[in-house]
Chains A and B, each alone.
Chain A
Amino acid sequence: MEIHQVKGQIVLTSRLDDMGHLPLKVLKSVSGSTSVAMDPIGTKTGDWVFTIANSAARDAAGDKRLLTDLTVSGIIDNWADIQKPDVK
């Protein structure tokens, strides 16, 4: 599961029915690549989150019918101290 930062949200007025109604967030990965994921938990811009890809993404979004290959699955609480571990 990759780690991304939420950059913003996109709106698709004309889209397939099976895309459902979950918000679509633009994510930027640690290595810098940009991708879009469905967000069932409600993140805000700037949150560090981890995502699920492949076949599990559809289940993670809540419904097997949803057309997604990437879903935001959780907000990382301790990202700040993972980046700068205080050396004990």
Chain B
Amino acid sequence: MKIYRVEGTIVSTNRIAMMDHKPLLLVVDKPGASPMVAVDPIGCKQGDWVLCCGSSAARDATGIKGYPSDLTIVGILDKWEG
């Protein structure tokens, strides 16, 4: 699992049906790194430091078994100096 920083939200109306209505957030490993898209089952806001889980565990972490995701936010860090 890795620590990311939430940059903002992603809007994608034209996406595969299996993804239904889960919110997607833009997260960055370290400032300036290339951004990744993560599924957000918790409800984070911009600037939060979050913990993301990848590969097959990310699918069930979204709350829907077998959801098509390979990066999901599993928690918000209380304190992290970045």
A residues within 8 Å of B by Cβ? 1-3, 29-31, 40-41, 50, 52-57, 59-60, 62, 71, 73-78, 82, 85
- A56's partner among B13, B15, B37, B70 (CB-CB below 8 A) is B70
Residues of A within 8 Å of B10, CB to CB, are 50, 76, 78, 82
Contact call B15/A52, Cβ cutoff below 8 A: no
B32 to chain A, nearest CB (A): 11
Instruction: Give the total of B residues in contact with A, Cβ under 8 Å.
Output: 29
- B71's partner among A1, A62, A75 (CB-CB below 8 A) is A1
Complex CA gap A40/B15 in Å reads 9
A38 to chain B, nearest CB (A): 11
B5 to chain A, nearest CB (A): 14
Residues of B within 8 Å of A62, CB to CB, are 16
B28 to chain A, nearest CB (A): 11
The 3 closest A-B pairs by CB, nearest first: A74-B15, A74-B12, A60-B68
Contact call A82/B26, Cβ cutoff below 8 A: yes
Contact call B37/A75, Cβ cutoff below 8 A: no
| B3: interface (CB < 8 Å) | no
Residues of B within 8 Å of A78, CB to CB, are 10-11
Residues of A within 8 Å of B34, CB to CB, are 2-3, 29-31
Interface string of B44-82 (1 = CB under 8 A from A): 000000000011101100000011111100000000000
Complex CA gap A1/B26 in Å reads 10
